[in-house]
Amino acid sequence: MTYNINEKGYYGEFGGAFIPEMLYPNVEELRQKYLKVMAEPDFQKEFKALLKDYVGRPSPLYFAKRLSEKYNTKIYLKREDLNHTGAHKINNTIGQILMAQRLGKKRIIAETGAGQHGVATATVCALMGLECIVYMGEIDMARQAPNVARMNMLGATVVPATSGSKTLKDATNEAIRDWINNPVDTHYIIGSVVGPHPYPDMVARFQAIVSEEIKWQLQEHEGSPNPDYVIACVGGGSNAAGAYYHFLEDTNVKLIAVEAAGKGVHSGESAATSVLGKIGIIHGSKTLLMQTTDGQITEPYSISAGLDYPGVGPMHAHLYQSGRAEFIAITDNEAMEAGLELSQLEGIIPAIETAHALAVFKAKSFQPDDIVVLSLSGRGDKDLSTYSDYFNL
Ligand SMILES: *Cc1c(COP(=O)(O)O)cnc(C)c1O
């Protein structure tokens, strides 16, 4: 059994490219070229240089002493929160903007829900001087006004999606429509390990820098490259894919994927896709997604905008179905408490997405000599008003 993608673009039975015929040439061009482009020494050189000098990599692997003492195990935090723009998403947008350049694209489009991927895309477009159009649901634009302002400041055009529920899925539909109408000069930057093949694999490869670094950093700290556990939160699954990537086939390294249970897995207000999801097609890929009995996609809910997604990427659907990863669902309340705890034990305010992963230490116990690496996917600055409303700070 392999946990990586096969040559047809599937992880087990999940993945593939289920797209309208008019999109086929765009996706096919990318599929034929992405591995070749990524293998070019010049591409790798530029990618690595930008990750180092622009993003600030390698991100530290920090031994969290007080958190480890509290839970009586050895906890390392992979500090993606220290990246430029405050999360792991920039690793992928840097990779994709270089890909777009190599493919001769002059115009970049993206969709965004909470605005984090939109900001990461607007950032790399400014860096490269490329036109940037970000589609965003009208309701999300109101809810996430600071990120709209950031994108405007960076020179991007934010286009409201005014159809349907006026949220992420409608923004995605608008982006796809744009791409169909602009097949030659436009690249569509997808922000997680979702979408039609080759996107999940391409994004996972760009994020794989995270586990590549964890290996040599753990070797330095512990004299061995492999931890006992890797823990990460899963929205679409890109920070988890990056943190797992170089451990996928090594089953001595246990993988824990953390989903948002919202107000409770069975409350009707949740985003716990593995428990609630059924096989279906979303954004061009066959995966697990939350849907009604007649196949309509269910509106997900989580206090954390980045985990508020009704599906998971095909890699994660396969990790779930095969049992390779353990999936744990964490509620809003559990996540908020874990976010406060990390702030006060370690002086690190995490993104609320990441706080879901941190809540695993209350949900599950580890052995004193276990080495546990947790992907600290992002910083909590963007979430301060949610934290302060919640805790009356
Ligand atoms: C977007 C985001 C996530 C969720 O996305 P994945 O693709 O599942 O990683 C998690 N954490 C942070 C900080 C984010 O911004």
> Which domain CATH number covers 99?
3.40.50.1100
Tokens 């744009």 identify what position? 178
Q: 178: buried, middle or exposed (CB in 10 Å: 19+, 13-18, 0-12)?
A: middle
pLDDT at 134: 98
Is the pLDDT reported for residue 114 higher than 90? no
Same domain for 126 and 257, yes or no, is no
Same domain for 243 and 316, yes or no, is yes
Spacing, Cα 306 to ligand 1 middle (Å):
5
Any atom of ligand 1 within 6 Å of the Cβ of 237: yes
- pLDDT one-digit tens code per residue, 220-248: 999 999 999 999 999 999 999 999 999 99
**Domain-located, residue 169:** yes
Tokens 């994709």 identify what position? 96
Any atom of ligand 1 within 6 Å of the Cβ of 87: yes
Pairwise CA distance, residues 38 & 33, whole Å: 9
pLDDT at 218: 98
Q: Which residue in the list 341, 346, 377, 382 is annotated as catalytic?
A: 377
Pairwise CA distance, residues 306 & 81, whole Å: 14
Q: Which residue in the list 89, 166, 169, 382 is annotated as catalytic?
A: 89
Same domain for 115 and 64, yes or no, is no
Spacing, Cα 234 to ligand 1 middle (Å):
7
State which of 89, 168, 189 you would mutate to test the pocket of ligand 1, scoring each by most atoms of that ligand within 8 A of its C-beta.
Answer: 89
Mean pLDDT of the chain: 96
Any atom of ligand 1 within 6 Å of the Cβ of 241: no
Percent of the chain with pLDDT over 70: 100
Same domain for 169 and 232, yes or no, is no
Tokens of 230: 């890797």
Minimal-distance CA residue to ligand 1 atom 5: 235
**Domain-located, residue 130:** yes
**Which pTM was predicted?**
0.97
Host domain of residue 162:
19-51+89-198
**Domain-located, residue 176:** yes
Same domain for 221 and 285, yes or no, is yes
Same domain for 257 and 331, yes or no, is yes
Same domain for 236 and 377, yes or no, is yes
**Neighbouring-strand partners of residue 231:** 256, 374
Q: Is 111 a catalytic residue?
A: yes
Domain termination residue (choose one: 198, 224, 244): 198
Same domain for 187 and 243, yes or no, is no
Number of domains in the chain: 2
- pLDDT one-digit tens code per residue, 147-184: 999 999 999 999 999 998 888 888 999 999 999 999 89
**Domain-located, residue 109:** yes
Yes or no: say if 244 and 313 are a contact pair by the CB < 8 Å rule: no
Percent of the chain with pLDDT over 90: 90
pLDDT at 65: 98
Minimal-distance CA residue to ligand 1 atom 10: 353
pLDDT at 257: 98
Spacing, Cα 21 to ligand 1 middle (Å):
30
How long is the chain? 393
pLDDT at 64: 98
pLDDT at 77: 99
Phi and psi at residue 330, to the nearest 5°: -120, 135
Q: Which residue in the list 80, 111, 213, 353 is annotated as catalytic?
A: 111
Same domain for 36 and 67, yes or no, is no
pLDDT at 274: 87
